[in-house]
């Protein structure tokens, strides 16, 4: 029974997750409520006590998955856009001191990758890349049950590989990153721009609505969906060419509407120098609590049985 803390751009969720990934309790708060560090971490501590009370179990360990740049081994927060007040602060040390239990921290893409690898669609796979497509694109790489870490323990940002250097500018400074082209908001923005040009009136559909319109037979929406599959496919093809993983698991809100066979067709159109058919594409399977479950898995990865059997 481990507590997970999922820190995202819009909300912070806290819950107790059992050893089979079942969520026993869940409480959440808007991220804006926790922007000032001292008050914010006190709020998280209260949520942990509440989650423990609701589940009827004591707190024995805490795993944290957080958006943005974090330092897993010191426990410190780096430069997180929506959390400037947390930069240089150390929630790992502070929660350890508060509760007298072990606490582990990872980037949320890595956390969800660990969750899917241990308990979800990637269970039993030795090389797994997890991709989450939301307002951005993030993810993590899990090799034989353990997170891949780069130089200086760096977390690779798979959403920021460039797909089309002449395209839209990305938040990172480059143009045409995977994240700038293949997220739901990117798809909706393209559709709305085209629709406004054609109709001479503003269009403000969401990605979900564009998918629905495409299903209803709208030609422009169909084009937007084809474009989405194409860009998702290009990014997946790059991951396959570079890594040849056993499986790529795709999660995030937009993936509910994406057809993986369309993504696979793009892969097949260009990955002919690698045995791409050996990389299975799968939808994430842990559902709407995936991030919370992944956060709890961070603790297992660092301190649990899987950590003891490492290397
Ligand atoms: Zn970028």
pLDDT in tens, 193-236: 999 999 888 899 999 999 999 999 999 999 999 999 999 999 99
CA 176 / ligand 1 centre spacing (Å):
7
Q: Where are the beta strands (DSSP E) in the chain?
A: 2-7, 11-17, 23-30, 61-66, 70-71, 76-77, 102-107, 127-133, 137-143, 146-147, 247-251, 280-283
Q: Please tell me whether residue 11 adopts helix, strand or coil conformation.
A: strand
- The Cα–Cα gap between 116 and 100 comes to 29
Query: Which DSSP string do the residues of 132-188 spell out, in sequence order?
Result: EESSSEEEEEEETTEE---GGGPPP-GGGSBS-TTSPBPTTSSBSBHHHHHSHHHHH
Phi and psi at 102, nearest 5°, equal -75, 145
Of residues 83, 78, 92, the one with CA closest to residue 32: 83
CA 182 / ligand 1 centre spacing (Å):
12
pLDDT single digits (tens) 28-78: 999 999 989 999 999 999 999 999 999 999 999 999 999 888 999 999 999
CA 21 / ligand 1 centre spacing (Å):
32
CA 157 / ligand 1 centre spacing (Å):
9
CA 156 / ligand 1 centre spacing (Å):
12
- From residue 149, alpha-carbon distances to 71, 78, 98, 243, 263 in Å are 12, 17, 29, 14, 27
pLDDT single digits (tens) 116-128: 999 999 999 999 9
Of residues 6, 50, 2, the one with CA closest to residue 23: 2
Question: HSE-up of 170 (CA within 13 Å, CB side)?
Answer: 24
CA 123 / ligand 1 centre spacing (Å):
30
Neighbours of 32 (CB within 10 A): 12
Tokens for 234, please give them: 């290009």
CA 207 / ligand 1 centre spacing (Å):
20
Q: Are 78 and 70 in contact (CB under 8 A)?
A: yes
The three-point CA angle 256-258-262 to 5° equals 155
CA 68 / ligand 1 centre spacing (Å):
13
CA 120 / ligand 1 centre spacing (Å):
28
For residue 311, pLDDT over 60 is answered with no
Neighbours of 21 (CB within 10 A): 19
State if pTM tops 0.85.
yes
Query: Which pLDDT does position 152 carry in this prediction?
Result: 86
Query: Which pLDDT does position 139 carry in this prediction?
Result: 95
* Residue whose tokens read 């026993």: 24
Instruction: Identify the sign of the CA torsion 256, 262, 268, 271.
Output: negative
Q: How deeply is 159 buried, as exposed, middle or buried, from its count of CB atoms within 10 A (0-12, 13-18, 19+)?
A: buried
- The Cα–Cα gap between 110 and 142 comes to 8
Tokens for 60, please give them: 């024995």
Q: Are 281 and 248 in contact (CB under 8 A)?
A: yes
pLDDT single digits (tens) 240-277: 999 999 999 999 989 999 999 999 999 999 999 999 99
CA 310 / ligand 1 centre spacing (Å):
33
- The Cα–Cα gap between 196 and 282 comes to 35
């Amino acid at each position: 029974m481990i507590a997970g803390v999922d820190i995202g751009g819009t909300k912070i969720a806290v819950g107790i997750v059992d050893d089979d990934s079942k969520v026993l309790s869940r409480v959440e708060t808007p991220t804006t409520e926790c922007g000032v560090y001292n008050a914010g971490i006190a709020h998280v501590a209260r949520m942990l006590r509440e989650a423990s009370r609701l589940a009827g179990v004591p707190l024995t360990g805490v795993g944290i998955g957080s958006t943005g740049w974090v330092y897993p081994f010191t426990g410190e927060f780096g430069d997180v856009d929506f959390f400037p007040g947390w930069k240089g602060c150390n929630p790992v040390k502070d929660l350890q001191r508060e509760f007298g239990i072990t606490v582990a921290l990872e980037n949320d893409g890595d956390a969800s990758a660990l969750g899917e690898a241990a308990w979800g669609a990637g269970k039993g796979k030795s090389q797994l890349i997890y991709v989450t497509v939301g307002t951005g694109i993030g993810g993590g790489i899990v090799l034989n049950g353990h997170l891949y870490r780069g130089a200086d323990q760096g977390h690779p940002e798979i959403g920021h590989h460039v797909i089309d250097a002449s395209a839209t500018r990305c938040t990172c400074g480059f143009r045409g990153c995977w994240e700038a082209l293949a997220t739901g908001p990117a798809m909706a923005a393209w559709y709305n721009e085209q629709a406004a040009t054609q109709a001479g009136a503003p269009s403000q559909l969401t990605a979900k609505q564009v998918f629905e319109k495409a299903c209803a037979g709208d030609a422009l929406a169909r084009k937007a969906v084809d474009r989405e599959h194409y860009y998702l496919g290009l990014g997946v093809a790059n991951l396959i060419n570079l890594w040849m993983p056993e499986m790529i698991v795709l999660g995030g809100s937009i993936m509910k509407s994406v057809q993986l066979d369309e993504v696979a067709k793009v892969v097949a159109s260009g990955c002919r120098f690698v045995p791409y058919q050996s990389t299975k594409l799968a939808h994430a399977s842990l559902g709407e609590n995936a991030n919370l479950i992944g956060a709890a898995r961070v603790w297992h990865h660092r301190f649990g049985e899987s950590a003891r059997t490492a290397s």
